[in-house]
Amino acid sequence: MSPSEQPVVRRAVTVTGRVQGVSFRYHTVQQAERLGLTGWVRNHDDGSVRLEVQGPADAVAELVGWLHHGPSHARVDGVREDAVDVRDGEAGFRAVR
């Protein structure tokens, strides 16, 4: 199935471990852009990184798979993924504060 034939999905993801101060958001944006996904990523006060990502199911699954290890200086202890409603009209993937 080509990406244009796949259903569009959106996932809310929380990544825990040593995921702040290791360019996790930057690398997440790079991976999401490479995969043609939309959404956002941000650091949370509890030390986790949270994101919402949207796009073809296979591409979203690929990004979520990457989140299980992240960039080389990160140490991922856990990844929690939840389905959320798709947002129409969203463009781009960005890091937010």
Q: Among the options 10, 11, 18, 25, which is catalytic?
A: 25
Q: Among the options 42, 43, 50, 94, which is catalytic?
A: 43
Whether 25 sits among the annotated catalytic residues: the reply is yes
- Interacting residues of 33 by C-beta distance below 8 A, sequence separation 6+: 92, 93
3-state helix, strand, coil in the chain (%, to 5): 25, 40, 35
Catalytic residues: 25, 43
